[in-house]
Amino acid sequence: MSDAGGPLSVPAVSSNAWSIGGVAIATGLSVHAIRFFEREGLLLRDIPRNAGRHRVFTPADVQWLTLVNRLRASEMPLARIRDFVDLVRSGPGNEQERLDLLEAHERAVRERIAELEDCLEIIEGKVATYQRHLLDGTVHGVWAP
């Protein structure tokens, strides 16, 4: 599952069988979010259950969930994540499509970061203005209604 590789790492554990609670701790996702990702078809495989009917995850599942969570956190729509999941599930031969999808998302994230940097610049300027007025004792009338 090389698509889940890269800088995403799974904490070392003594077993290759992870409970949903352990996955939640390792990924920072809630149990509810993990179940949501599973219901939405965003995992690479059906998660097996043990004799007690509890889900049994592998380190590869944890890596994949970490990736999916990063894609969601970076505002990739669920439909696009599903497209990526489908491409990975279908196996070799579509790597260019996967790359195209990820590069498009990378561009969108970089554009969003640039927008946020512009916002931050304005906010920093406003903070500096208020700090200066407070320090100088000239806050009276600063944007008063």
Please report whether residue 49 resides in a domain: yes
Question: Residue 12 has what pLDDT?
Answer: 46
Render pLDDT for 35-82 as a digit per residue (tens, 0 to 9): 999 999 999 999 999 999 999 999 999 999 999 999 999 999 999 999
- The answer to whether position 143 is within a domain reads no
H helices present in the chain, as ranges: 20-27, 31-39, 59-73, 78-89, 95-136
Question: Does any domain span residue 142?
Answer: no
Question: 57 lies in which domain range?
Answer: 2-136
- Whether residue 66 lies inside any domain: the answer is yes
pTM of the model: 0.80
Is the predicted pLDDT of residue 144 greater than 90, yes or no? no
Q: How far apart are CA 33 and CA 65, in angstroms?
A: 10
- 57: in domain: yes
Tokens 């290759």 identify what position? Answer: 16
CATH of the domain at 99: 1.10.1660.10
DSSP-based three-state secondary structure for 18: strand
Is there a domain that residue 9 lies in?
yes
State the Cα–Cα distance between residues 28 and 34, nearest whole angstrom. 10
**pLDDT for res 8:** 52
Q: Which residues contact 62 (CB under 8 A, 6 or more apart)?
A: 10, 18, 23, 26, 27
- Tokens 């609670």 sit on residue: 21
d(CA 58, CA 43): 12
The structural domain count of the chain equals 1
